Amino acid sequence: EPEEALKLRPPIITIMGHVDHGKTTLLDRIRKSRITASEAGGITQHIGAYKIEHDGKPVTFIDTPGHAIFSSMRARGADITDIVVLVVAANDGLMPQTLEAIAHAKKAQKTIIVAINKCDLESANPMHVKSQLAERGLQTTDFGGDTECVEISALNGKGVDELLDLLALQAEVLELKANPKGHARASIIEAKYQQGRGAVASVIVESGTLRTGKPFICGPFAGKVKALINDRGEAIKEATPGTPVEVIGFEELPRVGDSLVEMENDRTSKKLAGERQEELRAERLKVPQK
């Protein structure tokens, strides 16, 4: 990409951690504190990702269920995540999925920021969590290490602003940019069949601008963007880099982690889909029969 074509884009923050340590509660808290009271009633979290503004700057969050760390990190998060927020419940400490998340974030060389959650509880022991983190090579800054760590309560909101400030600072350091022009490329983070709508996927735009009416290829299938729905459930016409959006218009259910790539026209998308399907058939034939 020519340097001048690149524009700042929102950081993509993936929330990870053990089951029930409070990831979704934290995201709900962040989202709710940033919408006006009049909107609050009507908004349900539409997709497992959304964009907020913090100090006038957009930030995109992806939620991951604790029971699916491995597949989520590998498939939905790995390439598009800029920063991992590791949520650890202060009354529970590091648990199997916490360790899994640490291992995957390290392997993918992602910056980890730790949110020690549930600090409102009587049984909370953030010091213990910090010593556990240190044992895993994540020494926190207050102990001379370089892992940023915030003590929070997703339930009452304490420490959440501090976490957002840290994320904003980290994002600034990373200077994240993408080209909003040219053919769109987006990563599938969720996909499901919905009655009356067919195969629907949540994506995060990586580059270019995704627009309704545009043909695309995703895995071995052609498609066309019939509708784009934002994280508030509103139909929109276009989505820029770093934006999470729901896409309607898939021929088949796409796989999480696949890339949706805008094509010039229906002919080119169908031709490429045909070629990819042919390749898959050829590969299948090569598998030795038992």
* Binding-site entries for GTP: 17-24, 63-67, 117-120
- Smallest distance from the beta carbon of 222 to Mg ion, in angstroms? 34
- Smallest distance from the beta carbon of 17 to ligand GTP, in angstroms? 6
Give the Cα-Cα-Cα angle 77, 81, 84 (nearest 5 degrees). 95
- Residues within the interface to ligand GTP (CB under 6 A): 17, 19-25, 65-66, 117-118, 120-121, 153-155
Cα 77 to Cα 109: distance, rounded to the nearest angstrom: 12
Cα 270 to Cα 100: distance, rounded to the nearest angstrom: 39
Report the residue from 20, 28, 161, 251 that binds Na ion according to the rule CB under 5 A: 20
77 closest CA partner among 65, 88, 87, 89: 65
Cα 77 to Cα 262: distance, rounded to the nearest angstrom: 21
Q: Which residue is nearest to ligand GTP (CB)?
A: 66
- Smallest distance from the beta carbon of 61 to Mg ion, in angstroms? 12
Q: Which is nearer to Na ion, 20 or 252 (CB)?
A: 20
DSSP assignments along 89-131, one per residue: ETTT-S-HHHHHHHHHHHHTT-EEEEEEE-TTSTT--HHHHHH
- Smallest distance from the beta carbon of 189 to ligand GTP, in angstroms? 15
Q: Which is nearer to Mg ion, 52 or 154 (CB)?
A: 154
Q: Which is nearer to ligand GTP, 67 or 237 (CB)?
A: 67
Are 49 and 204 contacting, i.e. CB atoms less than 8 angstroms apart?
A: yes
Q: Which residue is nearest to Mg ion (CB)?
A: 24
How many C-beta atoms surround the C-beta of residue 231 within 10 A?
Answer: 22
> Which partner in Na ion, Mg ion, ligand GTP, none is near 153 (CB below 5 to 8 A by kind)?
ligand GTP
Report the residue from 10, 14, 21, 24 that binds Mg ion according to the rule CB under 5 A: 24
Q: Which is nearer to Mg ion, 24 or 140 (CB)?
A: 24
User: What is the enclosing helix (H) or strand (E) of 37?
Assistant: helix 37-40
- Smallest distance from the beta carbon of 266 to Mg ion, in angstroms? 39
Cα 218 to Cα 247: distance, rounded to the nearest angstrom: 12
Under rule CB under 5 A, residue 187 binds Mg ion: no
210 closest CA partner among 189, 251, 241: 241
What are the residues binding Mg ion (CB under 5 A)?
Answer: 23-24
What are the residues binding Na ion (CB under 5 A)?
Answer: 20
